[in-house]
Structure 1
């Protein structure tokens, strides 16, 4: 706090001895020492409180940053899920046949397989179907 050297302390002691006298000087020095100790403890306590408040504020800021990052990640995942849940153009055409406000159910795996097979049917398959129909007659 203050930079007081030996010479300054010696001068203060001599002046105190002359002003207070040898009877009251020890009691005055003890009282002065107690007051200086109290002041030092008070100042160090304030410093600790200020440091604790600064650390708490830093932690709050870090927590807020982490919360923002988590919220952004959650929103990104939510958008990705919504994007993948959007119907394909073919499925959207099917949904257009439904009344407004009623969503058509997604095609099942069997329906999608049947649809894919009907699109990929070879001419030989059509011939065998024709033979089956003629044999059945």
Structure 2
């Protein structure tokens, strides 16, 4: 690259001062500075884009390698599961043939009613009594008598 030292910069400044003149030199220096800044930003953008594309390529390669490893693991698990399933079915077949008992031709008897004891006993009586939950039906007269305000004489 171009080697610009302090002596070369001073020489360029003196030549610019002579050629351009002292009146226009500040405006030209500002314009040159803005153009150099734009050029540096453009170069930095290009470098960043190249770096991003390189990283993207590396990430794609890593993704492909991870996917192939995952496929290999999945295939090995499936083959192991298939072998286990075959061994299991063979063992179950042998055990069932050894323990073969005649099964009854009729189903087991089940009472058609619901499990009313379980349903009735779900909430304990002490809980119902403590919280005022009715366990028996009251007649209208009994209900009125129960909830009638008491007279204090």
- CA distance in structure 2 between the aligned counterparts of 1:46 and 1:69, rounded to whole angstroms: 35
Q: In the comparison of the two structures, how many residue pairs are matched?
A: 98
Answering whether residue 96 of structure 2 is matched by residue 110 of structure 1, we say: yes
Relative to the length of structure 1, the TM-score reads 0.61
What are the Cα deviations for residues 51-98 of structure 1, in whole angstroms up to 9, with x where unaligned? 12211221121111111001011111222222334479xx6xxxxxxx
Unaligned runs of 5+ in 1: 92-105, 115-137
Larger displacement relative to structure 2 (18-27 or 5-14): 18-27
Q: List per-residue Cα deviations over 1:77-125 (Å, max 9, x = no partner).
A: 222222334479xx6xxxxxxxxxxxxxx727432446xxxxxxxxxxx
**Which residue of structure 1 aligns with residue 20 of structure 2?**
20
TM-score normalised to the size of structure 2? 0.56
Secondary structure of the 1:23 match is: coil
Q: Which has the larger radius of gyration?
A: 2
Residue 66 of structure 2: aligned partner:
66
Q: Which residue of 1 aligns with 2:42?
A: 42
Task: Give the aligned CA root-mean-square deviation in angstroms.
Answer: 2.4
